Homo-oligomer: A and B are copies of this chain.
Amino acid sequence: MLNLFWANEGGLPANDRGLAYGDGLFETIRMEGRQGVLLSRHINRMVRDAARLGITISRGELTTVCAQAADRLSLVSDDAGWVLKLTLTRGAGGRGYRPDAASVPNLLVSAAPLPPEPDPAGVIVDFSRVPLTVNPLFAGIKSLNRLEQVMAARELDSGLFEVIMSNSAGHLVEGTRTNLLVKVRDGWVTPASATLAVSGILREWLLERLRERGEKVEERPLTTDDLLGPDCQGLFLLNSVLGVVPVRTLADHDLPVDTGLATIFHPFELLE
């Protein structure tokens, strides 16, 4: 059961807990006309992570809403790209922070244009000065508590595509809106899912593809030396709307650019 709201008709009620406490989570899905890229993975993640927060929603409900959204919001043409955003909150009710077990979730559906395509020759990236804290209880969840990412994104300017955030141990965790994947001599390195603020759909899909091809993928903490030292053969930023984005400059250091990954895998062809 859920209450459905269409952003082009208005916002959520004033007493919604998503606004009050960030008590919810969201998905942004790359759409091509009526079809979504890796759509079922987005739906699965939202159902699974909502359950971790004690918010109950079914795959069937979300699938139905996505089909309705495709009908209503894919306005331009059948092959035009756009972004579908689902914002799911615990709904209203409860006393202060304490939720009411009987609350019915609110789901806000909105559409946005595709962001500009990243430069396929590689983007410019820096380190963020905003520390990233990852509560193990919420690791990986794309919750509505994103103030750290907002403050880090304030460091971006027109020339800077992304900033990489570090945790209190000094490990490089992720960008504001991207996961990290490093090419090394004998395979790939990426921080483990349990250490991430947001565990991305494209990361999950891509790691499966690499392992299917027999490539070695190591999940471990990343240090500055992993990115700027001699072992790095390429740094990639992963985002399910933006794709696989090679980095050519990190903190004024030129990185080796390998555009192969972006051309081997075509997640945007995986329409559902």
Contact = CB atoms under 8 A, between A and B. Distances in A.
A226 B177 CA distance: 41
Interface residues of A, number: 56
Contacts of A87: 19-20
A14 B9 CA distance: 9
Interface in A39-53: 53
Contacts of A56: none
A12 interface: yes
Contacts of A5: 14
A21 interface: yes
Nearest to A95: B115
A110 B135 CA distance: 30
Interface in A86-110: 87, 89-90, 95-99, 108, 110
Contacts of A131: 135-137
26 contacts: A5-B14, A11-B13, A12-B19, A14-B108, A18-B19, A19-B19, A19-B108, A19-B144, A21-B22, A21-B144, A21-B145, A21-B150, A22-B22, A22-B147, A54-B154, A90-B150, A95-B115, A97-B146, A97-B150, A98-B154, A98-B156, A98-B176, A131-B137, A133-B133, A133-B134, A145-B145
